[in-house]
Amino acid sequence: MSSSVEASASVTSISVDVLEQLAGLAEMQEGCEKRRALLWLMTDIFLESGVEHDAEDRDFFGELMEEIAFSLERQVREELARKIAAEAGMPHGLIVRLANDEIPVARPVLEQSPVLTDDDLIDISHNRGQDHLFTITNRQELSIRLSTVLAERGNEDVVHSLLQNPTAKLSPDTIDMMASRSQACERIQAALVERDDVPREVLMDLLKHASEKVRKDIKYKLTAADEMYLDEVVDSLKSEISISRKSLALECVDALEQRNALNEGAILGFLRDNKPMEFLIGLSRLLSIDVKFALRVIGDRTGQALVVACRANRISLRGLKKIASSRMTAMPSDPLDLLAMTKMYHRITEENAQSMMRALRLRNNMLVRALPWEVGQPAS
């Protein structure tokens, strides 16, 4: 290197003369080591000069750096990308080419560079592979346009990462699309539930396909809402059941009632055979309550409402445990919870439980989980 070029690194601006000298040096340099040294000199001049360069200088400088960088091995471009990824004043053409390079080179630029525009990132998302898309999902700001492309083209890992980015802006249509694709993917379901911008109706729709774990998370999130909204949730869930399916379930329960065969065994049989509508209608008939109230009974996460209902209607402790541990209820399947329910079942008498049920029927417009009943005295 000439001393005149080295001295130019410390000036406060980069003149056209200096750039022309560098261009001449770039043409004359032979051998990887010399070209690598020249690249780092140019990078340092650009980063440490302390001024904003006009577009003409920046483009000229970027073309020189690009020509040298892409004539060297990938490891050099990796180091260059790490050095300049977060810099706002870097040449646009150089940054775009690095962002389209192999993923070890592209990663820091895709994640950090403020030089990349939405159009740049959308173009990369359309033309590069899943590794590039996944890396883009880690940017601090993701527009609706960009998020839509990522969701449409991305695989499961990309969509999951996109949902986990709280700064990603998602349109309602994009959320609906991801919810539809999540039917066979528990971690995407869980990521949707964790976001604050997912509409309540989407969460309710997820209940139809979600895993047991995610379904409990959804119910917990929904039951944190106000009473009026919970009523709407119950009504919406009921309306999702097809008319034909509901009619068949009603016919089945009606036939059992006519034969005086609607009993605890029949209810447990519906659970065993995975017939949720028959179970819900049959349970409401057996407890002499409407379906909406029955939903609240099995939706009480504490299990207290179910204990009272079973005790009042002579459903055995075995039957209570079968119902409580099924997928039809919102109750945890922890043995300690079942133990607490067992103790409560033994502590209240049938007469006390029936009194509690009468009070609950009178206050059917209130949430079961919020009712402040008192447990009766143990039977003598």
What is the count of structural domains for the chain? Answer: 3
pLDDT for residue 54: 66
Amino acid making up residue 211 = S
Q: Does residue 368 carry a pLDDT above 80?
A: no
| Averaged pLDDT for residues 37-51 | 75
pLDDT for residue 225: 45
Q: How confident is the model at residue 155 (pLDDT cuts 50, 70, 90)?
A: very high
- Among candidates 363, 347, 263, 380, which has minimal Cα distance to 313? 263
pTM for the full model? 0.54
pLDDT for residue 28: 46
Q: What is the pLDDT of residues 124-140, one digit of tens each?
A: 999 999 999 999 999 99
State which of 64, 95, 114 marks the end of a domain. Answer: 114
Same domain, residue pair 358 and 245: yes
Rounded to whole angstroms, how far apart are CA atoms 67 and 39? 10
pLDDT for residue 152: 93
The DSSP letter of residue 166 is: T
Same domain, residue pair 248 and 360: yes
Q: What is the pLDDT of residues 98-126, one digit of tens each?
A: 999 999 999 999 999 999 999 999 999 99
Same domain, residue pair 166 and 272: no
| Averaged pLDDT for residues 223-241 | 50
Structure tokens at 378: 């143990």
- Return the percentage of the chain with pLDDT > 70, whole number: 77
pLDDT for residue 371: 35
Q: Does residue 331 carry a pLDDT above 80?
A: no
Q: What is the pLDDT of residues 244-278, one digit of tens each?
A: 567 788 888 999 989 899 999 999 998 888 888 88
* 122 within domain boundaries: yes
State which of 174, 194, 224 marks the end of a domain. Answer: 224
Do 377 and 328 touch, CB atoms closer than 8 A? no
Q: Residues with Cβ < 8 Å from 194, sequence gap 6 or more? A: 163, 164
Do 227 and 366 touch, CB atoms closer than 8 A? yes
Same domain, residue pair 176 and 260: no
* 141 within domain boundaries: yes
State which of 68, 89, 114 marks the end of a domain. Answer: 114
Same domain, residue pair 260 and 364: yes
Structure tokens at 283: 């349970």
pLDDT for residue 151: 94
The DSSP letter of residue 47 is: H
Give the best-scoring range by mean pLDDT among 115-129, 216-230, 261-275, 281-295: 115-129
What residue numbers bound the domain in which 286 lies? 241-370
Same domain, residue pair 201 and 84: no
The DSSP letter of residue 314 is: T
Rounded to whole angstroms, how far apart are CA atoms 112 and 141? 10
* 44 within domain boundaries: yes
Same domain, residue pair 63 and 137: no
Same domain, residue pair 216 and 274: no
Token pair 């607490």 is found at 340
* SS3 per-residue string spanning 185-205: CHHHHHHHHHCCCCCHHHHHH
Same domain, residue pair 351 and 257: yes
In Å, what is the CA distance from 14 to each residue of 18, 45, 47, 54? 6, 8, 11, 10
Rounded to whole angstroms, how far apart are CA atoms 282 and 319? 14
Same domain, residue pair 253 and 192: no
* 236 within domain boundaries: no
* 232 within domain boundaries: no
Q: Provide Rg for the chain, Cα atoms.
A: 33
Q: Does residue 30 carry a pLDDT above 80?
A: no
Rounded to whole angstroms, how far apart are CA atoms 143 and 149? 10
> By three-state DSSP, how is residue 330 classified?
coil
* 376 within domain boundaries: no
Same domain, residue pair 282 and 358: yes
Same domain, residue pair 134 and 213: yes
* 229 within domain boundaries: no
* 249 within domain boundaries: yes
Phi, psi of 121 (to 5 degrees): -70, -35
